Amino acid sequence: MSVRSSSAPRSLPAKTQPSPAETPPALPSARILGVETSCDETAAAVVENGRAILSSLVASQVDLHAQFGGVFPEVASRQHIRTIYPIIEGALQQAHIGLSDIDAVAVTRGPGLPGSLVIGVNTAKGLVLGSGLPLIGVNHLEAHIYSAWLRWPPLPNGMGESEALSPEPRFPLIVLIVSGGHTELILMTDHLKYRRLGATLDDAAGEAFDKVARLIGLGYPGGPSIQKASQGGNPRAFTFPRAWLDDSWDFSFSGLKTAVLREVRRLQEQGRSLPVANLAASFQAAVVEVLVGKTVRAAQTLGAAEILVAGGVSANQALRETMLAQAPCPVHIPPIDLCTDNAAMIASAGYYRFIAGQRDSLGMDVLPNWPLSEV
């Protein structure tokens, strides 16, 4: 297990004041403890006013699952049980606060692996039962979107570099969520208001990266290993299909995956060693071209003010660079460590739900297949 952490400077407990350059906060002030256990990361974070990260801890189980070539649900939930309390305690300690300084506990309610979700939800229920704090169940996809609202604490020299780098997204936004389980194109007209334009008809983009990585002999998780292998490859070495699906906003990656499989088989039958870098680069180029092409067209067609890209695959360098180069408007993509699963994004979405009045009961159950459209 490896733990990634980030925290605010030591002297933080008083609530941070907005810098003069920032518009005055029209929204209520609140500190939210976020808890995330939807898949194979156990995470906790404290976020203030939906944006300022006071602490963020992520315990990754990737090493445990690598031997299986994917997430093994039973192993994931056992590991969450072992890790969740130390991670929550660590997040509070790193923010230099206790539960009494928190205004609400937000936890991922779904979508995700049932046995993993239930560990986070039950732990959050225990915390609110003991403390009397409000409980907020958060949709994991909505949380990925809110990762673009987050910002790191100001630098120790007082320079708000991260603020300058991450102005608040402006509506209407075209949102592309690309993760291991989902690929969705969304029109977001205001906080918490979404219209789904399209989604994948088969594999999610991250799933395609993971499956193709396995096909060409690369390790899990496939996204980072394909990105790395692509660096030495020619993206035009193989002409893999792009599923544009005419005028629809939907996506499809299974044909592309099959095309890679066919190429691999053909090369193997000829007794040739796999040109892994070229296969990886050509596959990545095909995915990126469709993701960027559809997102840019949606932004133009629907007159979006800005584009937001989130989810694990938004960590992909080629996707980030191509989107920035081709977008007709400003683009928000979270910093790499906020693209993959974390609890700061759960706390951020939880804040916007909290100020909208959402309060969940102790009877709240997990929702392993919870679409964003039903939030």
Query: Of 30 and 367, which has the nearer Cβ to Zn ion?
Result: 367
The residue range among 10-18, 93-101, 205-213, 297-305 that interacts with ligand KG4, by the rule CB under 6 A, is: 205-213
The residue range among 14-22, 218-226, 239-247, 347-355 that interacts with ligand KG4, by the rule CB under 6 A, is: 218-226
Q: Is residue 139 a contact residue for ligand KG4 (CB under 6 A)?
A: no
Burial 79-104 (b: 16+ CB within 10 A, else e): bbeebbeebbebbbebbbbeeeebbb
| C-beta contacts of 164-172 below 8 A and 24+ residues apart | 166/332, 168/51, 169/306, 169/308, 169/332, 170/305, 170/306, 170/330, 171/305, 172/302, 172/303, 172/304, 172/305
User: 12 touches which of Zn ion, ligand KG4, none (CB within 5 to 8 A by kind)?
Assistant: none
Applying CB under 6 A, which of residues 224, 233, 235, 350 lies at the interface with ligand KG4?
Answer: 224
Query: Of 278 and 316, which has the nearer Cβ to ligand KG4?
Result: 316
Q: Is residue 315 a contact residue for ligand KG4 (CB under 6 A)?
A: yes
Which among 230, 174, 222 is positioned nearest to 197, based on CA atoms? Answer: 174
User: Quick check: 6 and 53 in contact, CB under 8 A?
Assistant: yes
The residue range among 215-223, 266-274, 297-305, 348-356 that interacts with ligand KG4, by the rule CB under 6 A, is: 215-223
**Residue at token pair 């609530």:** 15
User: 209 touches which of ligand KG4, Zn ion, none (CB within 5 to 8 A by kind)?
Assistant: ligand KG4
Q: Find the helix packing angle between 276-302 and 254-269, rounded to 10°.
A: 160
In the complex, the smallest distance separating the C-beta of residue 193 from ligand KG4, rounded to whole angstroms, is 22
Q: Is residue 39 a contact residue for ligand KG4 (CB under 6 A)?
A: yes
User: 233 touches which of Zn ion, ligand KG4, none (CB within 5 to 8 A by kind)?
Assistant: none
Residue 307 pairs with which residues in a beta bridge? 174, 331
**Residue at token pair 């297949």:** 369
Q: Is residue 110 a contact residue for ligand KG4 (CB under 6 A)?
A: no
User: Quick check: 232 and 277 in contact, CB under 8 A?
Assistant: yes
Q: Name the residues that contact ligand KG4, by CB under 6 A.
A: 39, 179-181, 206, 209-210, 221-224, 227, 311-313, 315-316, 340-341
